[in-house]
Amino acid sequence: MVLEITQIGNPVLREVCREVSADELASSEMQQFIDDLIETKRAANGAGIAAPQVGRALRIFVVEVKDNPRYPYKPEAELTVCVNPEIEFLTEERYLNYEGCLSIPDLRGKVPRCPHIRVRALDRSGQSFERVVKGITAGTFQHEYDHIEGVLFPDRSDPKTFCTWSEFALRHEDQVRRDVETVVEKWGE
């Protein structure tokens, strides 16, 4: 089921989300919620979505990029469900990239992101995993992780870079495509 996406101003987007217990994760209700979260992300053409974006203050997010018309310049990323995740930065280097958010319609802004991270989390079945993520995809994981910490991309952006999606397409998208190619060339993903 496609869920309603919570919009900026809703206090749940500013909460530090709670961890999900093993019993809770194993429940049919939570498994259905994860299915619904994935379906909602896909219906909205998001690169990822976190539980607070559908009104649930839980430490769960999903990332997936495949033939995404909203982000045609992003490299593909396999579906990854992260429960109770932790992120470790593996370099001091940062790149700037325009980000948008399903919870903040029609706004983009440049955000500094780490191009080399390690993600530790549980998958939807409760199994621990660790994954090194690089490049633009690393930024997507950080964006979703920020959501479960109560942080939105404008908190990390220079307000002078804010623009609507149409202005982004008109004035910035060509440069962003080149910048993404540079990041992917250097870091992969």
* 165 contacts: CB under 8 Å, gap ≥ 6: 100, 106, 107, 108
- pTM passes above 0.75: yes
Q: What is the pLDDT of residue 67?
A: 86
Strands 77-89 and 116-122: antiparallel
Q: What is the pLDDT of residue 145?
A: 98
Of the residues 64, 99, 144, 189, which is catalytic? 144
* Among the ranges given (34-38, 65-69, 87-91, 105-109), the one the predictor scored with the smallest mean pLDDT: 65-69
> pLDDT tens digit string along 142-185?
999 999 999 999 999 999 999 999 999 999 999 988 998 898 88
> pLDDT tens digit string along 60-89?
999 999 988 888 888 999 999 999 999 999
| Contact in structure between 5 and 53 (CB atoms under 8 Å) | yes
Other CB atoms within 10 A of residue 93 CB: 13
144 is catalytic: yes
Mean pLDDT in residue range 19-45: 98
CA angle, 29 then 33 then 35, to 5° = 115
